[in-house]
Amino acid sequence: MAQITLNNVTKYYGSDLVVKEVNLKIEDGEFVALLGPSGCGKTTTLRMIAGLEKLSSGELSYDGHLVNDQPAEDRNVGMVFQTYALYPHMNVYENLSFGLRSRKVPKSQVRERVEKVAALLELSQLLKHKPKELSGGQRQRVALGRAIVGQPKVFLMDEPLSNLDANLRDRMRAELAKLHSRLAITTVYVTHDQGEALTLADRIVVMNKGRVHQIGTPHEIYSYPVDTFVASFIGSPGMNLWTLPWARQTNCITSGNSLRLPRSFESVLESTSETATFGIRPEHLSVSEPNEEEIEIFCKAEVVEHFGSHVMLHGRLESEGEPLLVARLDPDAVINRGQKVRLSAPSGALHIFDSVTSERLPTKELVLI
Amino acid sequence: MTSLDSVKVIDSQDQSLVFEEVIVKKRKRFLPASFNKIKERLVAYGLMLPALAVFFAFFYFPALFLIYISFFHWNIFSSQTKFVGLANFKVLFNQPLFWHSIITSAYYTLVMIPATVFLSLGIALLLKEGFTSRKGGFWRGAIFLPHVTPIVATSIIWVWIFNPNFGLANFVLKFLHLPALGWLQSQHWALPAVMIDSLWHSLGLYVIIFLAGLSNVPAQLIEVARLEGAKKYRIFRRIIWPLISPTTFFVVVLSTVSTWQAFSQIYTMTGGPHGGAGGPAFSTTTDALLVYQTAFIYEHFSLAAAMSLVLFLIILVLTIIQKIISDRRVFYR
């Protein structure tokens, strides 16, 4: 196992900047997910950690030792690719043992270790099968087994579940979590699926356009997004974000006829200009009478979807530009299309972002949920 | 009549009606459909006919006629044709020069095939690893260029290169402090000199074929192997080589056929001054060259046809052997 440190790691392809000054310290045995949309630089960062890409600048260390110039074959990392990258001409046993034989591990140990990993991943009956004879889930397990059989210091995974169907993906996700808790190998996991990142990782690194936006635990990322990108990217559906003008009233703060906040937010809003970006997650909205300490929102219902377990309301605020609103409401909420709806949310559920810089304003101490 | 019987009657009536309808429909469909099909086929064959006629006239007919005349005494300048059975083959097998030509052809092929595979794969690996984008395009073009030049013309240049007195080859040897060679005038070096010309001429094609094969090896497999601690040679031996085996097999078959049939470069470089027979002391007399000499110098067309048939059978047997080996060794994804 190893501690990985990235210090101002930057990568250019020609003149294109793909990863910009990434600073990250991954602790021994930690499970870190690199999360972001396609092209955000997460796979390139992973490949730099693996040694498959050279750093344009910055420093990369394993256990405090600089590995910038260390070739991939000497880093002792195990990697699982999206396509599994199994050797198609070798059977499962040969696929699992290739790395050990490359490192000249004695034959008896090779067999012992392969059999142990095969038993762990329920592959013992498939050792003589070629990859084309295996199902997607079995191939996935062989790829995992191949990565762990060499007892790597670091375990790297590049969207390992994205080729599986939804059911199998859920099952494999649970298996991955179990495997990590059993082996406790430092793991870096690249995904664009926030569900995978939130459920598997100890910490999540949210990236966009080559830049790290936020590093934090799943709870921190979800509850205290540092900017509007993280706020909108995390959560399904993403956070409602409305950039609106605000005004002081006697007992409250309002934004036109559609938003009313408790007066306690004044101190936060004072640091902004006349407008601010207000954010509330769909699941924090409800159809109920708000009290004075709660947030009140008025909207016009456009689409109402009944999911059984909940109702999804798609509407628009009655403010300038009629910004969209999505609310995940109780299943017994009765709302008709075109109806004007009054919604409420606890004041702790409100996120305020600077409308110019998109950065979060310090409302953390106000968050009660 | 019970209610059940009436139902049955109605059913059978319905069925017969349906049956008749089906027959009528089928009949209607059958005639135009088959007519259309025949028409379609006639048009298709009609369109193919000119190409087939050319193909038959210049490929199948000579090949079949060659088999025919190998069992006859036949001469292009005479109308007398006499069936001689296996007599041509008997003469052939009793001729030491024929066996010599088979051995020379085998020697030529046995050296050329490994050299072709080794060099073209080596160059393809270098081109793939070392050169990318624009530079890669330049080198690929440069390597392929000799293949598109006429071999007779380039062979004349190689005759000059291998001139023992003022040729470039001996100049290079002298520069390296090595003894000068007689090249095309030497019994031992004439065939290797021809091999160098043949390799230079044909490598470009095989390099391009290998490059195509190499580009089909997924980069991630090589990356995984690297991460698993495999060094370059092991990655090549255990990953790349098995995965490009269909390409290698294709190159081996293609080069076997072309080397057994090699004629132009051998004739241009060593045939002319030796009565078309090849080399000093028949050292470059391959099977193909002997066929030419027998047919067009000595005008023994039937004997040359028998030789060609033997050459064809040798290539066929070699290809079958290669196919058997390939079924065991070649990995198709």
Q: Which domain holds residue A262?
A: 239-353
CA distances from B331 to B238, B245, B326 (A): 12, 6, 8
Q: What is the pLDDT of residues B66-89, one digit of tens each?
A: 999 999 988 877 777 889 999 999
Task: Say yes or no to pLDDT of A131 above 80.
Answer: yes
A22 in Cβ contact with A29 (< 8 Å): no
Question: Do B147 and B230 belong to one domain?
Answer: yes
Q: Considering its fold, how many domains does chain B have in total? A: 2
Average pLDDT over residues A189-215: 95
Residue A11 has pLDDT above 80, yes or no: yes
Domain-ending residue, one of B37, B58, B83: B83
pLDDT at A172: 86
- The two structure tokens encoding residue B289: 């060259």
Residue A136 placed within a domain: yes
pLDDT of the residue at B32: 61
Task: Say yes or no: A196 and A323 in one domain.
Answer: no
Segment of A309-323, B19-33, B125-139, B157-171 carrying the highest mean pLDDT: B157-171
- Compute the average pLDDT of residues B128-138: 69
Residue B10, by phi and psi: left (phi above 0), alpha (psi -120 to 50) or beta? Answer: alpha
Show which of A180, A208, A228 is a domain's final residue.
Answer: A228
Percent of chain B with pLDDT over 70: 86
Assess whether B187 and B291 both reside in one domain: yes
Say yes or no: A172 and A191 in one domain: yes
Higher pLDDT, A188 or A2: A188
pLDDT level of residue A368 (50, 70, 90 thresholds):
very low
Q: Phi first, then psi: give them for residue A300, nearest 5 degrees.
A: -110, 125
Which residues in chain B have their CB less than 8 angstroms from residue A51's CB? 227
Q: Which residues of A touch B228 (CB under 8 A)?
A: 73, 98-99, 102-103, 146, 150
Residues B209 and B79 in one domain: no
pLDDT reading at A276 higher than 60? yes
pLDDT in tens, B9-21: 444 445 555 555 5
- The secondary structure of residue B278, as a DSSP letter, is -
Q: Is the pLDDT of residue B96 over 90?
A: yes
Rounded to an integer, the average pLDDT of B194-199 is: 94
Closest-CA residue to A41 (of A216, A206, A178, A264): A206
What's the structural domain count of chain A? 2
From the candidates A46, A52, A148, which should be mutated to test the interface with B, based on the most B CB atoms within 10 A? A52
- Is it the case that residue B223 has pLDDT exceeding 60? yes
Residues of B in contact with A102 (CB under 8 A): 225, 228-231, 234
Domain CATH code at residue A84: 3.40.50.300
A49, A156 in Cβ contact below 8 A?
yes
Are residues A244 and A214 both part of a single domain? no
Q: Is B224 on the interface with A (CB under 8 A)?
A: yes
DSSP code at position B286: -
- B71 lies in the same domain as B194: no
Q: What number is the ipTM of this complex? A: 0.83
Give the tens place of pLDDT for each residue, A64-104: 999 999 999 899 999 999 899 999 999 999 999 999 999 99
Residue B317's pLDDT is what?
A: 92
Can you tell me which residue has the tokens 């930690």?
Answer: A30
* Contacts A89 to B, Cβ<8 Å: 242-243, 331, 333
Read off the pLDDT of each residue in A221-235 and give the average, rounded to a whole number: 94
Residue A12 has what pLDDT?
96
Whether the predicted pLDDT of B2 surpasses 50: no
Instruction: Please give the backbone phi and psi of residue B189, each rounded to the nearest 5 degrees, phi first.
Output: -105, -5
Choose the weakest-confidence range: A303-307, A330-334, B30-34: B30-34
Please report the pLDDT score of residue B9 as a whole number.
Answer: 43
Instruction: Evaluate whether residue A195 is within a structural domain.
Output: yes
Q: Three-class SS string for chain A?
A: CCCEEEEEEEEEECCEEEEEEEEEEECCCCEEEEECCCCCCHHHHHHHHHCCCCCCEEEEEECCEECCCCCHHHCCEEEECCCCCCCCCCCHHHHHHHHHHHCCCCHHHHHHHHHHHHHHCCCHHHCCCCHHHCCHHHHHHHHHHHHHHCCCCEEEEECCCCCCCHHHHHHHHHHHHHHHHHHCCEEEEEECCHHHHHHHCCEEEEEECCEEEEEECHHHHHHCCCEHHHHHHCCCCCCEEEEEECEECCCEEEECCCEEEEHHHHHHHCCCCCEEEEEECHHHCECCCCCCCEEEEEEEEEEEEECCCCEEEEEEECCCCCCEEEEEECCCCCCCCCCEEEEEEEHHHCEEECCCCCEECCCHHHCCC
**pLDDT given for residue A365 in this prediction:** 47
Among A215, A140, A155, CA closest to A185: A155
Which of these, B228, B244, B247, B227, lies nearest to B236 by C-alpha position?
B244
Identify whether residues A243 and A100 lie together within a single domain.
Answer: no
Q: What is the pLDDT of residue A138?
A: 92
Residues A216 and A249 reside in one and the same domain? no
pLDDT value for B327 = 82
DSSP B273: G
Residues B66 and B175 in one domain: no
Domain match, A117 and A143 both: yes
pLDDT greater than 60 at residue B62: yes
The answer on A212 and A271 residing in a single domain is no
Please name the residues in contact with B120: beta carbons below 8 A apart, sequence gap of 6 or more.
B203, B206, B207, B209, B210, B251
Q: Which residues make Cβ contacts (< 8 Å) with residue B186, sequence separation at least 6?
A: B280
How far is residue A128's CA from residue A253's CA, in Å, rounded to a whole number?
Answer: 70
- Chain B residues 239-258 with a CB less than 8 Å from chain A: 239, 242-243
Residues B113, B227: one domain? yes
Pair B14, B63 in one domain? yes
pLDDT for residue A63 is more than 60 = yes
Looking at the structure, tell me whether residues A152 and A287 fall in a common domain: no
For all residues of chain A together, what is the average pLDDT? 91
CB contact under 8 A, A73 and B231: yes
Domain boundary among B36, B55, B83: B83
3-state secondary structure of B73: strand
Residues B38 and B145 in one domain: no
Same domain flag for B26 and B115: no
**Per-residue confidence band for A125, with pLDDT thresholds at 50, 70 and 90:** very high
Residue B22 has a pLDDT of 54
- CATH of residue A307: 2.40.50.140
Give the per-residue pLDDT at B92: 92
Q: Is the pLDDT of residue B278 over 80?
A: no
Using only C-alpha atoms, chain A has a radius of gyration, in whole angstroms, of 25
The CATH number of residue B167's host domain is 1.10.3720.10
Task: Indicate the SS3 state at residue B72.
Answer: strand
- Shared domain for A220 and A280, answered yes or no, is no
Q: Which amino acid is at A313?
A: L
Residues B93-109 have a mean pLDDT of: 93
Say whether both B228 and B321 belong to one domain. yes
**pLDDT confidence bin for A288, thresholds 50/70/90:** confident
**Residue for token digits 């000499």?**
B293
Same domain, A64 and A209: yes
The DSSP secondary-structure symbol of B277 reads: S
Average pLDDT over residues A4-16: 95
User: Does residue A100 sit in the same domain as residue A143?
Assistant: yes
State percent of chain A over pLDDT 90.
70
pLDDT above 70: residue B131? no
Query: B74: helix, coil or strand?
Result: coil
Output the pLDDT for position B48. Answer: 94
Q: What distance in Å separates residue A157's CA from the closest CA in chain B?
A: 12
Q: What distance in Å separates the CA atoms of residue B306 and residue B94, rounded to the nearest whole number?
A: 13
Is the CB of B328 inside 8 Å of chain A's CB atoms? no
Nearest by CB: B331 against A85, A89, A98: A89
Strands A275-280 vs A240-245: parallel, antiparallel or unpaired: antiparallel
Q: Name, in order, each residue with C-beta under 8 angstroms of B165's C-beta and a sequence gap of 6 or more.
A: none
Residue B193, judged by CB atoms within 10 A of its CB (0-12, 13-18, 19+), counts as buried
Chain A residues touching B331 at Cβ < 8 A: 88-89
Does residue A364 belong to any structural domain of this protein?
Answer: no
Last residue in a domain, options B83, B100, B115: B83
Six token digits for residue A176: 């991955």
Does B145 lie at the interface with A, CB-CB under 8 angstroms? no
Of A33 and A272, the one with more pLDDT: A33
Q: Among the three residues A228, A255, A281, which one is the final residue of a domain in this structure?
A: A228
Summarised one tens digit per residue, pLDDT across range A213-227 is: 999 999 999 999 999
pLDDT at B260 over 80: yes
Full residue range of the structural domain in which residue B44 is found: 3-83
Inter-chain contact B228–A51, Cβ cutoff 8 Å?
A: no
What is the mean predicted confidence (pLDDT) over B200-216?
93
Interface test with B, best of A48, A53, A81 (most B CBs within 10 A): A81
Q: What is the pLDDT of residue A175?
A: 87
Contact B333 A88 (CB under 8 A): yes
In this predicted model, what pLDDT tens digit does every residue of A17-60 receive, in sequence order?
A: 999 999 999 999 999 999 999 999 999 999 999 999 999 999 99
Burial of residue B139 (number of CB atoms within 10 Å: 0-12, 13-18, 19+): middle
CB atoms inside a 10 Å sphere around CB A314: 17
Q: Reply yes or no: is the peptide bond before residue B146 cis, omega within 30 of 0.
A: no
A50 & A69 share domain: yes
For residue B83, the SS3 value is strand
Same domain? For B112 and B30 the reply is no
CA distance B295 to B287: 12
A52 and A72 in contact (C-beta within 8 Å)?
A: yes
Long-range contacts, A192-195 (Cβ 8 Å, 24+): A192/A35, A192/A36, A192/A37, A192/A38, A192/A42, A192/A159, A192/A162, A193/A159, A193/A161, A193/A162, A194/A35, A194/A233, A194/A234, A194/A235, A194/A236, A195/A236
Give the span between the Cα atoms of B291 and B157, in whole angstroms. 25
CB contact under 8 A, B228 and A71: no
pLDDT at B5: 44
Identify the H or E element spanning B40.
helix B3-55
**Radius of gyration of chain B from its Cα atoms, rounded to whole angstroms:** 30
Between A118 and B77, the higher pLDDT residue: A118
pLDDT grade for B3, boundaries at 50, 70 and 90: very low
- Which of A9-13, A173-177, A270-274, B59-63 bottoms out in mean pLDDT, i.e. has the lowest? A270-274
Domain match, B100 and B162 both: yes
Q: A86 to chain B: nearest residue by CA?
A: B221
pLDDT band at A290 (very low <50, low <70, confident <90, very high): confident
DSSP letter for each residue of B152-214:
HHHHHHHHHHT-TTT-HHHHHHHHTT-----GGGSTTTHHHHHHHHHHHHHHHHHHHHHHHHH
* Distance of alpha carbon A192 from alpha carbon A236, whole angstroms: 13
Asked if B333 is an interface residue toward chain A (Cβ–Cβ < 8 A), one would say yes
Query: What's the one-letter identity of residue B130?
Result: G
